[in-house]
Amino acid sequence: MPRIFHFVCLTAFHTVSHFCKETAMKKTVSRRLTQLTFAALAALTGTAQAHQIWIEQPAGQNAVIRFGEFGENLREASPGLLDKFGAPTGTLSSAQGEKTAPATKTANGFALPFKAGAGEALVAEDAHYPLFTLKRDGQEITNWYRPAARLATDFSKQKPQLTLDLVPAGKPGEFQLFFQGKPLPKAKVSFVTQSGWSKEAHTDAQGLVTFDMPWKGVYVAEVIHTDKTPGERTGAKGAERYEGVRYVTTTTVMQANGIEPLPAGPAATPNK
């Protein structure tokens, strides 16, 4: 199934400084190369495994889990790839504790029954996404795609809740990456805006990574980690064996100050 690629028109960059123009152009080229890598993966494992989920929270509304590519303005729909999900859930963390609830599928996402207020956070995941099989050296290998997401209303320090979790670390633009509750060093983290402008950096020995946030608006950070440890999970028809797990986790944050954001491009066509 072919990937749908969307790139922001570089001429829109005249609204910012020459430095930002060059930076955005370089990051867009880097993003294109990354997308080509994902396209090759998609040819083997299906478009879905090259995607991410992220949490959106429109002003005054409850949160929604989206599936697709935030920086490409691609939101998968139903009927379509959105129907591959099992039973995504969301958890709201506040001063009163944690509240977990199932998400409800809509035409272009999964609606959650709550929203994060100031100082609160949301996490979401689908722990029952169907296993996928690919061929390697003539043998069939079954893997598990584990999409997850976090939304933070500020950069106050947060504790990890997801198996692979990228949490705010206490300073604007600073995150800490955890895997199975422990800091994960030397992991690549991507940071993207709605326009497709993106940056990449690697976590340090403590799992910390920091990004500049020049534009106002929403940013989505993404990290991918593959665990090649074989295992077994309980499926609808009993035990399901897998050779490894591909974790894809995002964290959505907001920047209230900065340069006026570049607009998102036209909405990309969902895959069938």
pLDDT of residue 11: 37
pLDDT, tens digit, for every residue of 173-191? 999 999 999 999 999 999 9
Q: Which residue has the tokens 């079954």?
A: 142
Domain ranges of the chain: 19-255
Burial 131-160 (b: 16+ CB within 10 A, else e): bbebeeeeeeeebbbbbbbbbbbebeebeb
Mean pLDDT across the chain: 85
User: Over the stretch 14-59, which tens digit does the pLDDT of each residue have?
Assistant: 333 433 434 444 444 344 433 433 333 333 344 555 799 999 999 8
Spell out the residues 6+ positions from residue 271 whose beta carbon is closer than 8 angstroms to its own: 1, 3, 4, 47, 76, 80, 81
Specify the amino acid at residue 125. Answer: E
Which amino acid makes up residue 113? P
pTM across the whole model: 0.82
3-state secondary structure of 34: helix
Give the whole-angstrom CA distance, residue 196 versus residue 231.
36
